[in-house]
Structures are given as structure tokens and as C-alpha cells.
Amino acid sequence: MQLTWLGHSSFRLEIEDATLLIDPWLSGNPMLADTQHDAATTGATHILLTHGHGDHAANALGIAKKQSIPIACIHELSEILSAEGAQTIGFGKGGTIDLGGAKVTMVNASHSSTIDFKGGAPAAAGAEAGFMIAGEGHTIYVSGDTDIMADMDWMGDYHKPDIGILCAGGHYTMDMKRAAYAAKRYFNFKTVIPCHYRTFPILEQSAQALIDGLPGVHVIEPQVMQPITL
């Protein structure tokens, strides 16, 4: 299983027979060079979206059409994207879908979700979400944009993820200290990978507080386009 950070909250996950693009924000992403876009997306089989904000979803439609691959996301957002010509897989929180052998369950997050990248007033895009992705003997929790939630208690107990991909940049989501608190209280991660940080000056630039808060956990500060074997 291989995970590659594309900057911000964007990842390429190769798991089972699937290559998933998670929140693939390419154009305007200051961490990913234009020359890296093809390498980031070539061979992808599915797109997963946690919510509709531009720094997560703005490029999904274009990638899906170019690659002829489906977008899996919450029902309302899938209906919007389907109306614009995308192949979509709409599902809801608690639902599980099979993407090339990887079992993807949508879980709750605490944030907001609008389409805010088309000009004009933001349009409602269903609800924000996270994912539990099970395959190759691991369960990965992709938090999506969120703060700490009491729901993390049952999510950790029920799904038992051993890998956490956690938003941790602060300002719009939980910061490194809050992410460490959530990971320590609600989960039993062996590996934690922070995201939604370093992109802009307003966000946290280092994961040191997360590392310090999780002794005994392998905290990986990802580097853009450098694959991590899990």
C-alpha cells in the first residue's frame, strides 16, 4: 500500500486494486507544481471527496472527465457533479462502498460544505464527511476537515483504524495539539500523517506539536510527491 501527499489535504492512495485520489486539489495548490499534475493523477481509478470546498473539490470534475473515472462523495454533492457530466457514486454517512477491493465507509466530520469556487454565493453541497478505508490488512481514517468530535469515540472503537490521516493546520480545522489530543483519546493509531497544513501562512507549518503529543506513535511529516509505503 502506497500513499503520496499532493499537498494540503490531497492524497494519492494505492490500495488493493484501486488508486484513489482523495480531495485532489491541483490548480492553485501552491505546494504542487503544474509539472507534477500528470504524475499525481495518472492511473487513478476513483476520486474521493470529503466535502465541496474549492481546496478539496475544485479540480475533481476536470480530473474525472479527463481520466474517465467516478467521483465518490456524499449524495448531494454527487448529484451536483453528475449534472455537470461526471460519473459519480453518491452515498451517505454509515454507507460502505467497494472501490477496487478497498472498502470505503463514510463517517461524520464537523466542518461545513459548500461549493465556493464557481463565483457568486456559495452553494450548499450536502454535509462534510470523513472516510474509513479498509484494505491490505489496514484501516485508514481520513478525517477530512474537522474539529474534535465525540463521534470519534465510537468511530475509533468500531472501525479500529491503525493509520490516521488527520487535518491539523488550525484556523479552519483542529490544530496539531487538538489532533494529538483526539488521536490519543479516541484512537489507537500506529501511524499518523498530518495534512491541511503548510499550505498558507495562516496554517501551522510544523507537526512538532503533534509528534510531541503522540509518544510511541509513528508520526510522518509527508513530503509532496514522495511516496510513503504503509
Concatenated DSSP letters of 189-229: -SEEEEES-SSSTTS----HHHHHH-TTSEE----TT--EE
pLDDT tens digits, 52-108: 999 999 999 999 999 999 999 999 999 999 999 999 999 999 999 999 999 999 999
The DSSP-derived string for 94-161 is T-EEEETTEEEEEEE--S--EE-SSSSS-EE----EEEEEEETTEEEEE--S----THHHHHHHHH--
Our count of domains for the chain comes to 1
pLDDT of residue 56: 97
Nearest residue to 106 (alpha-carbon basis) of 137, 82, 77: 77
φ/ψ of residue 34, rounded to 5: -55, -35
Q: What is the DSSP letter of 40?
A: H
pTM of the shown model:
0.97
pLDDT of residue 198: 97
Nearest residue to 32 (alpha-carbon basis) of 177, 222, 199, 228: 199
Q: What is the CATH number of the domain that holds 54?
A: 3.60.15.10
Strands 138-142 and 129-135: antiparallel
Q: Which amino acid belongs to residue 12?
A: R
Q: Which portions of the chain are predicted below pLDDT 50?
A: none
Half-sphere exposure at residue 32, Cβ-oriented, CA atoms within 13 angstroms: 25
Structural domain range at position 143? 2-229
